[in-house]
A = this chain, B = another copy of it.
Amino acid sequence: MTRLPTVSDVATAAGVSRQTVSNVLNAPDVVRPETRERVLAAVSELGYRPHASARRLRTQQSSTIGIRLDPMTDGISGVVLDRFLHALTAQADALGLRVMLFTAAGPEEEIAQFRRLSDGADVDAFVLTSTFEGDPRTEWLIEHGQRFVTFGRPWGVDDMEDPQHLWVDVDGRAGLRAATRHLLDEGLRRIAYVGWPSPSGTGDDRHAGWRETMREAGLDDDELDALEARTPEGVPHGAEALRAVEAATGGAVEGVVCSSDSLALGALLAARGRYPVIGYDNTPVAASIGMSSVDQPLEQVATGVLELLTGAHGGRVRHDGEPVGDPRHRLLEPRLVPRELQVAPA
């Protein structure tokens, strides 16, 4: 394993100076085309690759994004983070950015990690997931002038428009509207909702999507109250909740939409094929048993996150004070993936 070539090596090989080589790589337009060719030839001949740490030291930019790997939220839906992470990593790579992981047991610890990683210049931007109302993390990041984007809206009313807070999110309400409408269009009418208890930013948003669509379809509030059940995440809870709705409505349920695939799987098992169930997140489980589900456009979320992070400058992370290029947030439309049940549960 001989020593790797450096800018100087390339420079001598091409008969120019270090700086010219550097220019060819970072500001090709200031170099005469003729020279540029010669340098590029030397670069590829020697197989030169810039030394990331050296560049980072000099430029004070790590071109690395830090993201916390959640402590595996119980449910099936953990995969969402996984898919997002994959999209983010792939797209970041194309922009010359790297993705570094860290873990933390709680918000406090996560903030400690922010400090470590940013002080050590390991990372110069963060991506946060699973934001919640009054999240101390965003507060800290803003206060300390750190660059970040959240996947998920800041659910506090005031926070939502905070110009310092860039976010990308998926319109869960629209997702549930689509799911509900899909069932209505099939001629079904008494569509139940199984979702998380209030208050929950995401949960309430999705719930609203179902509720307003149903009201538009002419159901009154009493009917809707009977058709909905709010329950914590988890397959058994989903099954139980649906049974409760059936009991409350005298078994008149004709379809179900849920706020997660976990709940939906439970509901599906309880429904035993008597009527359709639609989940949320389009997890592999949904895909493999043939359950319809609302798919979050995670590729686009990743794109949005990176756009907001890098601003106009592809590749480099945005400098302090640079304009962000409105809008400062993106709200993306999810998409319903309709499926035919592949596995008869009965």
Interface residues in chain A, defined as those with a beta carbon under 8 Å from any beta carbon in chain B: 1, 4, 47, 49-54, 56-57, 62, 64, 69, 71-72, 74-76, 78-79, 81-83, 85-86, 89-90, 93, 98-103, 115-116, 119-122, 144-145, 234-236, 239, 262, 265-266, 269-270, 272, 284-285, 287-290, 320, 342-346
Task: Check B103 against A52 for contact (C-beta < 8 Å).
Answer: no
CB distance from A240 to the nearest CB of B (A): 9
Least CB separation from A83: chain B residue: B72
CB distance from A9 to the nearest CB of B (A): 13
Task: Check A269 against B345 for contact (C-beta < 8 Å).
Answer: yes
> If the complex has contacts A71-B86, A289-B269, are A121 and B51 also in contact, measured as CB distance less than 8 A?
yes
Residues of B within 8 A of A342 (CB): 235-236
Copies in the complex: 2
> If the complex has contacts A89-B69, A120-B52, are A100 and B99 also in contact, measured as CB distance less than 8 A?
yes
Least CB separation from A50: chain B residue: B120
Residues of B within 8 A of A284 (CB): 72, 74-76, 78, 262
Task: Check B120 against A343 for contact (C-beta < 8 Å).
Answer: no
Task: Check B235 against A262 for contact (C-beta < 8 Å).
Answer: no
CB distance from A56 to the nearest CB of B (A): 4
> If the complex has contacts A69-B86, A78-B82, A284-B76, are A121 and B343 also in contact, measured as CB distance less than 8 A?
no
CB distance from A25 to the nearest CB of B (A): 13
Task: Check A285 against B76 for contact (C-beta < 8 Å).
Answer: yes
Residues of B within 8 A of A86 (CB): 69, 71-72, 103
Residues of B within 8 A of A239 (CB): 343
Task: Check B265 against A122 for contact (C-beta < 8 Å).
Answer: no
18 A-B pairs within 8 Å (CB atoms) are namely: A49-B115, A49-B116, A49-B120, A50-B120, A51-B120, A53-B122, A72-B79, A74-B287, A75-B284, A76-B76, A79-B82, A85-B101, A89-B101, A90-B103, A100-B101, A266-B288, A266-B343, A270-B343
Task: Check A288 against B269 for contact (C-beta < 8 Å).
Answer: no
Task: Check A235 against B288 for contact (C-beta < 8 Å).
Answer: yes
CB distance from A335 to the nearest CB of B (A): 18
Residues of B within 8 A of A76 (CB): 76, 284-285, 288
Residues of B within 8 A of A116 (CB): 49
Choose among A102, A234, A272, A343 the residue with the greatest number of B CB atoms under 10 Å from its CB: A343
Residues of B within 8 A of A82 (CB): 69, 72, 78-79, 81-82
CB distance from A234 to the nearest CB of B (A): 5
A346 to B268, CA, bound (A): 11
A102 to B345, CA, bound (A): 38
Least CB separation from A98: chain B residue: B100
Residues of B within 8 A of A346 (CB): 272, 345-346
A277 to B72, CA, bound (A): 25
Task: Check A288 against B272 for contact (C-beta < 8 Å).
Answer: no
A100 to B265, CA, bound (A): 34
Least CB separation from A73: chain B residue: B284
Choose among A145, A269, A284 the residue with the greatest number of B CB atoms under 10 Å from its CB: A284
Task: Check A145 against B236 for contact (C-beta < 8 Å).
Answer: no
Task: Check A53 against B56 for contact (C-beta < 8 Å).
Answer: yes
